[in-house]
Amino acid sequence: MGPATDKEFVPSRYVSLSHQADGALVLHCARTGAIGTVEGELAADARRALLPDTVSRRDDSPVVSDLIDGGFLVPRGVDERALVTHQYAGRYVDNSLHLIVMPTEQCNFRCVYCYEEFKRPRMKPEVVEGIKNLVDGDDDLDFLALSWFGGEPLLASDIVLDVTGHLRRSCEAKGAGFTALATTNGSLLTPAYADQVIPAGLSQFQITLDGLAHEHDARRVGALGETAFHTIWRNLLYLRSTDHDFTVMIRHNFDPESHARFPDFLAELEREFGADERFSMELSAIGKWGGPNDDNLHVFEGRDASRAVLHNKWLALKAGFPDAISQQKMQPNGAVCYAANPHSFVVGPNGDLHKCTVELDYHDRNIVGSIHRDGSLTLGWQKMALWCETDGSSWDAPTKCTTCYFNPSCHGAVCPKEWMDEPECACPNAKQSIGETLTLIREESLYSRIR
Ligand code: SF4
Ligand code: SF4
């Protein structure tokens, strides 16, 4: 290979392509996160420029110039792997913080696929104080992402309200960005509480509905056997009726049986929420997630799961629920689990710090430290490294990730837990069905233009 020059460009090793039925080409570059569509005759120019070993110059054609700007073509001789390694190492030096806070491990539901053990009650007051002091005392903080998790976090609704408001004000005072999300079953997000907590700063909700009443209530069973679908639905309708600035991501978990009834459920969602852009959907195939009921679950296996998810995403898109998640996952580091982020911690009710929200305290390796009343953290860096240094792209001991075109988005860290426990970590859905994913993203952009 000749010397590096900014005049000659060759195809990036991190490009994926999807050939469309109308002749268009959808492109993704995992190193830059660029996604684009080339249509008509220009698609042939793009295909030629992206053939292996092709050398192009910026003034060859307008499409070549665009491909250079998007990172699909790179200067000849550039070490792209070094750029990607450098980008990934940047996680250690940014000044953001991601706190996944469990104000209680208790839950008022007993979902059939749940893996939690509901051991601890309300968060201790000294832990609440520690979280506030941690953020108040961090003068360099640029961005705080707060995620409420449980158990059911709204069983400790007073803690959620108090801490959200405090941290939002603290971030505002120091000029740091702030977002707050709650993963909640939605049964306790009453109109009165929503009117308090949304203005306090909790504006993003992920609420699970596993189908219409009969289906949902059979899978997401109340702790005392009670049903909750109609309560959750009423709470959602109230949110829709307000002017509050919020988003609700309706998460739908499905198995092979409920998959067949998804269109009926979707029709009802479309009727009530399809025209309101504050509501979106996340679709997930139920898996054996480690709960006591796993052996009784009938689940999609392997690629059938990602195919079923994509199929339902198409239907959801047509019903007015675009899929924001797929595009996020295609960004640099976008498919990397938060457990691999050195600035991300799960704070348990007793002040233990974890990395993985599935493993919690079931395995000693996931208890990586603790938070103290004054906001200081004690961390075990060897355990932290187990989670944060999951990078499958080593050239010393090559794996399937080493030469993967999707590596800058994933780094083999889509699930560090699986990486440690299994011989090989499964690739993210977006990569497993890359052609369909890119087609879906193209459809979404067309859809949002005409909506
Ligand atoms: S897990 Fe799959 S998608 Fe991720 S880097 Fe490895 S081979 Fe690529
Ligand atoms: S490490 Fe795996 S199981 Fe744990 S939170 Fe991340 S994706 Fe989930």
Q: Is the CB of 209 under 6 A from ligand 2?
A: no
CB atoms near residue 418 (< 10 Å) = 15
Q: Which of 242, 172, 173 is nearest to 201 (CA)?
A: 172
Q: Evaluate: CB of 415 within 6 angstroms of ligand 2.
A: yes
Give pLDDT tens digits along the chain (451 positions).
444 445 899 999 999 999 999 999 999 999 999 999 999 889 999 999 999 999 999 999 999 999 999 999 999 999 999 999 999 988 898 899 999 999 998 888 887 877 777 787 899 999 999 999 999 999 999 999 999 998 899 999 999 999 999 999 999 999 999 999 999 999 999 999 999 999 999 999 999 998 888 888 888 888 877 888 999 999 999 999 999 999 999 999 888 888 888 999 999 999 999 989 999 998 888 777 666 777 777 777 777 787 888 888 889 988 888 776 778 899 999 999 999 999 999 999 999 999 999 998 889 999 999 999 999 999 999 999 999 987 666 667 778 898 899 999 999 999 999 989 988 888 998 898 899 889 888 887 766 544 4
Ligand whose nearest atom lies closest to the CA of 335 = 1
**The pLDDT value given to residue 4:** 46
- Token reading at 195: 């009117």
Q: What's the gap in Å between 281 CA and the centre of ligand 1?
A: 25
Q: Is 388 in the pocket of ligand 2 (CB under 6 A)?
A: no
- Other CB atoms within a 10 A radius of the CB of residue 49 amount to 21
Annotate the chain with three-state secondary structure. Answer: CCCCCCCCEEECCCEEEEECCCCCEEEEECCCCCEEEECCCHHHHHHHHCCCCCCECHHHCHHHHHHHHCCCEEECCCCHHHHHHHHHHHHHCCCEEEEEECCCCCCCEEECCCCCCCCCCCCCHHHHHHHHHHHHCCCCCCEEEEEECCCCHHHHHHHHHHHHHHHHHHHHHHCCEEEEEEEECCCCCCHHHHHHHHHHCCCEEEEECCCCHHHHHHHEEECCCCCCHHHHHHHHHHHHHCCCCCEEEEEEEECHHHHHCHHHHHHHHHHHHCCCCCEEEEEEECCCCCCCCHHHCCCCCHHHHHHHHHHHHHHHHHCCCCCHHHHHHCCCCCCCCHHHCCCEEEECCCCEEECCCCCCCCCHHHEEEEECCCCCEEECHHHHHHHHCCCCCCCCCCCCCCCCCCHHHHCCCCCHHHHHHCCCCCCCHHHHCHHHHHHHHHHHHHHHHHC
Query: According to the model, what pLDDT value does residue 370 have?
Result: 98
Instruction: Judge whether 201 and 245 are in contact, CB under 8 Å.
Output: no
Q: What is the pLDDT of residue 397?
A: 73
Q: Is the CB–ligand 1 distance for residue 401 below 6 Å?
A: yes
pLDDT attached to residue 2: 45
The residue whose CA is least distant from atom 7 of ligand 1 is 401
User: For residue 418, which amino acid is it?
Assistant: E
Q: Take atom 7 of ligand 2 and give the residue whose Cα is closest.
A: 415
For residue 145, how many C-alpha atoms fall within 13 Å in the half-sphere facing its CB?
A: 13
Determine if the peptide bond prior to 151 is cis (ω within 30°).
yes
Rounded to an integer, what distance in angstroms lies between the CA atom of residue 410 and that of residue 88?
Answer: 10
Q: Does domain 96-326 have CATH number 3.20.20.70?
A: yes
The domain spans of the chain are 1-78, 96-326
Distance CA 322, CA 443 (A): 10
337 lines ligand 2 (CB under 6 A): yes
Is the Cβ atom of 220 under 6 angstroms away from ligand 2?
no
pTM of the model: 0.89
Atom 2, ligand 2: residue with shortest CA distance: 415
Nearest Cα neighbor of 211 from 250, 240, 252, 248 is 252
Q: How far is it, in rounded angstroms, from Cα 411 to Cα 308?
A: 25
Phi, psi (deg, nearest 5) at residue 310: -65, -40
Question: 353 and 369 in contact (C-beta within 8 Å)?
Answer: yes
Q: How far is the CA of 20 from the centre of ligand 1 (A)?
A: 24
Residue whose CA is at the smallest distance from ligand 2 atom 3: 358
359 CA: nearest ligand 2 atom: 4
User: Ligand 2 centre and the CA of 255: distance in Å?
Assistant: 20
- The Cβ-side half-sphere exposure at 27, using a 13 Å CA radius, reads 31
Q: Is 425 in the pocket of ligand 1 (CB under 6 A)?
A: yes
Q: What is the pLDDT of residue 447?
A: 61
Residue 291: the pLDDT is 67
CA 425 / ligand 1 centre spacing (Å)? 8
- Measure 100 CA to ligand 1 centroid, in angstroms: 25
Q: How many CA atoms lie within 13 Å of 49's alpha carbon, on the beta-carbon side?
A: 30
356 lines ligand 2 (CB under 6 A): yes
Residue nearest to atom 2 of ligand 1 (CA): 427
Distance 221 CA to ligand 2 centre (A): 24
- With 0-12 CB in 10 A as exposed, 13-18 as middle and 19+ as buried, what is 271? exposed
